[in-house]
Amino acid sequence: PNAGGERREREGRGVSVHVARFVELQPAAITTMAHDDTLKILAVGRGNGDIQLWSTVAPRWHPIGVCVGAPGSQIRAVCWAQSRLFSASLDGRILEWSLSTLAPAAAEDSHGGSVWSLAASRDGNYLAAACHDGAVRIFAVTEEEGGGAVFRKALPAHDGQALSVAWGPGDQSLIAGDSLGNVRIR
């Protein structure tokens, strides 16, 4: 057989044979998803650090690219702010991704260890990160694309790890859930 995967014609029969080699597929768990209504793109975060991007334009969704994560980085949250893609992971980094190069455009440390959840304010000007140390941290999204997000302040920490966060009505409050089962409104 031809190891290169090329086609061969058998003499005298005119039968085309294609030799293929298979690679073992090792999918990574889907840990988070977020959709941008303006760009019509779904970001799918995976446990191996990759983010798959899907066009959601009807009538048929299709993949448009993969942002390849750093080895050992486990994506726990993706969100869109001002049609810019941000991710947070267990390595404690918050990344802005370039949609043209599919590579990180900016990185910021969470200042609180692993990030379990990330939420954008409705106007897209702020990100809230639920961190391993129990605190929710607020980051300002820079005006220029690719500028990332800048740490602004930390809210008082929970006794357990902050695992989830959401903005309240009118972005006037933050709601956080922790590893001890508590929900706090700040």
User: Would you give per-residue pLDDT tens digits along the chain (186 residues)?
Assistant: 445 554 555 555 667 776 666 666 667 899 999 999 999 999 999 989 999 999 999 889 999 999 999 888 889 999 999 999 999 999 999 999 999 999 999 999 999 999 999 999 999 999 999 999 999 999 999 999 999 999 999 999 988 899 999 999 999 999 999 999 999 998
Identify the residue whose tokens are 């840990």: 31
Provide CB contacts within 8 A for 115, sequence distance 6+.
Answer: 76, 77, 88, 89, 90, 92, 93, 94, 129, 130, 131, 132
Omega within 30 of 0 (cis) for the link into 156: no
Q: What is the C-alpha separation between 46 and 44, in angstroms, rounded? A: 7
With CA atoms as reference, report the closest residue to 138 among 148, 147, 122, 150.
Answer: 150
| DSSP character at residue 185 | E
What pTM was computed for the model?
A: 0.84
